[in-house]
Chains A and B, each alone.
Chain A
């Protein structure tokens, strides 16, 4: 999965579709993780650590069936993601059919595996929007973080996207290793004539959690970066829109994760597992319903997984009696579980949480790691099948 997906769940999707929350729950957003195959190895990937365990991907027909079902239930936005969705040979066909069904089709890609003719082909098939993710602003850092030589190619692809009449949407996932390059990042976006730039702070799930000590930005880094982002926002008004997502580890209140569990968001993973968010596979006690075994409607309305954290009954204190629970839903279930061991706890990002000290401790641990001499620092663990197998004991 490329960087922007990380940002998506809590930020842009929730925000932009938030205005329709007065309705009954509908899976307005279908995120189709078409594949776990990816030429990049980003150490902050939100794919599960054991992705190498997934061998069999849904077929073209199975995907189209999922699209049709979700569309009939009211889904309008389709995110085509992964892994790298361009590795699916049927991508153009999936786009064409999805567009015919009336989806707004979003391709979330690293641009690796794309060429100018592919962009044109996707355009012809009716693709609405391409988002290209960058790992950093400079070739060396980008390639280091992506674990591959991709930078020049990405630049060319970003230009091809623009040349085909798409709005250019760039996504940079920021973390300790690249956040000091905020000016260069934004200058690169200006040079590429971007229409939208997402500065997405790394969120700590999957591989990012594993590499958290090496990725957490320092407070002074953030303050500098934020000031620069705001300055560019002012300067670029009417020209380029810059979305800056504040990292929640430095916040006092949690994000309204997924705009509420099982509320508007549906992820289907490469093997057909349906999840209320793309990190939820990591939670304990999930039944992991699969679209091959039951209908999307049955999963959305009736499955234990999707009902587990709907509403407010499942909450423990301080969320249960909190007057902000309808605003933030107690934050992120995965973050609550990852950090406190219990997914029904408040997201420890919240200063009202009795576990808030765990966030402080994580930041301190990151600070200690950052203070070490380069040679003594833990190396980043890159997201690739070898590491996946090793870490997951496969």
Chain B
């Protein structure tokens, strides 16, 4: 594993040309990008929804998720997802 791109102070944003939206026909959240679409699972959808809606640091994002999901211990999962999403070119640090 290479060095982490995101830390508590990074502000993740959707990569240029990417759009997040709810797809009723798919019954899930998706990421749309030039000529493509990724269907997101529940957790990925919750994270990317927040990233697409407002600028905030990873720490703030995690706090928000914890508040929404009964204080679950999800730090590692969020960091891991952010790195994966970065490697897929979905997001970048601002």
Contact = CB atoms under 8 A, between A and B. Distances in A.
Contacts of A284: none
A12 B17 contact: no
Interface in A1-49: 8, 12-13, 15-17, 19-20, 23, 26, 28
Contact of B30 (A13, A76, A79, A167): A76
Main secondary structure of the interface of B (DSSP, over half): strand
Interface in B17-32: 17, 19, 21, 23, 25-26, 30, 32
A106 B34 contact: yes
A27 to B, nearest CB: 10
Contact of B37 (A77, A131, A195): A77
B88 to A, nearest CB: 11
Nearest to A12: B35
B25 A26 contact: yes
A169 interface: yes
B35 A195 contact: no
A354 interface: no
A77 B32 contact: yes
Contact of B17 (A8, A20, A23, A167): A167
B37 A106 contact: no
B39 interface: yes
A129 B34 contact: yes
Main secondary structure of the interface of A (DSSP, over half): mixed
The interface centre, meaning the residue of A15, A73, A128, A131 with most chain B CB atoms within 10 A of its CB, is A128
B17 A74 contact: no
B38 interface: yes
A69 to B, nearest CB: 12
B36 interface: yes
A8 B39 CA distance: 20
A128 B32 contact: yes
A74 B35 contact: no
A250 interface: no
A169 B21 CA distance: 22
B34 A20 contact: no
Interface of A: 8, 12-13, 15-17, 19-20, 23, 26, 28, 72-74, 76-77, 79, 102, 104, 106, 128-129, 131, 165-167, 169, 195-196, 241
- 3 A-B pairs with least C-beta separation: A16-B36, A74-B25, A104-B32
